[in-house]
Structure 1
């Protein structure tokens, strides 16, 4: 995963897990499904514990950081446990581990995107994000299709490599290593070949696409001062200075980060005057993140039940705030909202929410238009959810904007992992993605999934982007996440069909043979 981007390691990392899953089939020993689940869960704990270590580093900002880290890893580890359970069931029906594993893991990745605890950080496909040649098929089936391919290739390589005598299926015919080698070659060549063809074609087409010039502002406001009332004027002044500097490149849109205006834009007199005045001064719309509420928090006679607070974004035109507000849909569990808790918190949950956030989720997709091109926004980690960007493009977005504040995470892997998702989202929908981050990484990704400009962490920066507008609809935008659904159905059908044929499985002992080929 970023920032390491060690693709060979991504291919061999599942091998210990595959070997564990395959052991009963190779030895003929029975193993309860509960042990399959437990072993897979331990694998998940190790995997996600290392991947998400940076959550525990938020202790300087929240006393809930370590409990949140532990809870996140425990929930995410279910990915390994459920995959092992599914593969164990398939193995007992006589299905090859090498075939069941990529189907099961991909399906479980998709299933964990749903609900209040949905979190698609750390997909197998994310390890490919820095390789434009390998991610072009995302336009066909999204990140989950890439996960399926990567895991299938890993499993095929493992099948070819694994030590020990090859078992013979019923009938005594030996497994053909050349056949498995051919599978590896086909899998290894298909995706890069498709990528090379698409990159070449789209590169030639891109010169004729219309463009829109936009500027992303990176103000580098320290997190420990961001919400300090005494620092609000300094924050707004810093944003204004960088915005004026950006006008040297004549952008048609200026984008500020998530919560760049650290007060309620519609209600705070300073912000309500300064930001529209700045937009009028430069003659260019300013798109900014800010908090918002249905009614003004703290107004006499109000209580917590009288307003709803949103993590929001507005377009500020020279003549004032444009109509339309986008409120973040996918709120970070615990950090922004207590999961599974509708309405106002009471009792223990009120105390818990006082440690976390009490934001309300948005319900509408909002589009804004600049010079004939429409755009939508993802706020913070909404960019890791394929369905959010897809929904915005289906609503008519020609380009996408991601605003975020990753200052919380410090110089860890988190900002790099977070930013890397944009390459996949850009290819899935063939829409350019502009990113404005408070302390970095800011930049922009073209519709081919390539970073065309990006900043470092913790610096003042301006990113100017000539965003190409393809005006196309991809199969993924049209049909969505068919790949993991197909993987789930294929797993079920194969399990049932192999079981009905009588694959040599002994239901009393849990022994069985593997289906060839994998």
Structure 2
């Protein structure tokens, strides 16, 4: 709704938008409460000029067309409830749901199909029968399939551990790329300080204690270089930027927001992805188990979305990002400059207050 205002995020990151909001609140305080401030008029003029520049920049950015190569993507929203997701009695039902919805998308001729986070109700690669069933199904599609799955990692000292991963299958049914989630959810996917407090291990005994990935892996296909974010990784600007910095020209985020229920959280989670698209000038493809799934272009425009807690199949043409933004190149330099400026103001105020304090003290004596 405020696309003109937030286009500056490709320069300043999301902190530039926060700066505008904070500056407006400071100005309103001076105008309505701190009426003795001698800077009221100057501040009002400066903010008006700043706002005009931001809106002018935003309108120019939005007027630009998408010039990247297009490819077609279908996202699948299975709408699997939490009580069924890991219940072995519903395993076949869950798998059949994703197969059915995927086949529904095939007449559109997608170059890639995306399933949500932990879409498979089994450990891919460990359960041989169900893994082979998934690969056989994939070979019949003759297109790329990207899905979320728990994987078994047997390289950890002291036993096996699990990763929350995204797996990309080629049209031939081969595993083309695997990305392991790097930023795990505390107390959901791992327990902090579990070695110091042994009894808390029981908190994750049912699902295993996940280990984080270590690589910003970019998945390469003939039509795009994909940076894959799992669940709430999309909310971290620096993490997302690292994928684009390493060559990703499309972002795919897979998630399971069923935990949130019918609250504002699924909508907020989706809205955050808009900023990541603008900051790095790359499109975002989102597949969520219970919604919201959809597509966001490099200007933050939302082309298609699903409702929450319904099955959905969405297909859209996506144009890859073609240019590297200032934010991608330099990161949160604007935020660092703001911190430096604030420190200088504090030091200046302390320095100017000393003569006043010394004068007041001498008068008291």
CA distance in 1, matches of 2:150, 2:343: 46
Equivalence for 1:329? 182
Equivalence for 1:178? 41
CA shift at 1:276, angstroms?
Answer: 1.4
**What TM-score does the superposition give when structure 2 sets the normalisation length?**
0.92
Distance change (3 Å), C-alpha of 1:353 and 1:220: closer
CA distance in 2, matches of 1:376, 1:135: 22
1:399 aligns with 2:250: yes
Of residues 282, 298, 301, the one that matches 1:447 is 298
CA shift at 1:269, angstroms?
Answer: 2.2
Equivalence for 1:358? 209
Equivalence for 1:145? 16
Equivalence for 2:2? 131
Distance change (3 Å), C-alpha of 1:212 and 1:159: same
**Secondary structure class of the residue paired with 1:466:** strand
1:286 aligns with 2:145: yes
CA contact (8 A) 1:219 1:460 kept: yes
Equivalence for 1:221? 80
CA distance in 1, matches of 2:356, 2:335: 27
CA distance in 1, matches of 2:199, 2:356: 51
Equivalence for 1:159? 30
CA shift at 1:323, angstroms?
Answer: 4.1
Of residues 138, 145, 168, the one that matches 1:315 is 168
**Secondary structure class of the residue paired with 2:286:** strand
CA shift at 1:371, angstroms?
Answer: 2.1
More strand by percentage: 2
**What TM-score does the superposition give when structure 1 sets the normalisation length?**
0.66
CA distance in 2, matches of 1:271, 1:252: 24
Q: Deviations over 1:14-40 (max 9, x none)?
A: xxxxxxxxxxxxxxxxxxxxxxxxxxx
Of residues 221, 234, 239, the one that matches 1:370 is 221
CA distance in 1, matches of 2:30, 2:91: 59
Q: Deviations over 1:190-234 (max 9, x none)?
A: 32221111111x23xx1x421111110001111111110111111
CA distance in 2, matches of 1:253, 1:352: 37
CA distance in 2, matches of 1:230, 1:277: 22
**Secondary structure class of the residue paired with 2:188:** coil
Equivalence for 2:106? 247
CA distance in 2, matches of 1:194, 1:339: 44
CA shift at 1:366, angstroms?
Answer: 1.5
CA shift at 1:319, angstroms?
Answer: 2.8
The alignment yields a C-alpha RMSD, in angstroms, of 2.4
CA distance in 1, matches of 2:72, 2:259: 30
Distance change (3 Å), C-alpha of 1:503 and 1:199: farther
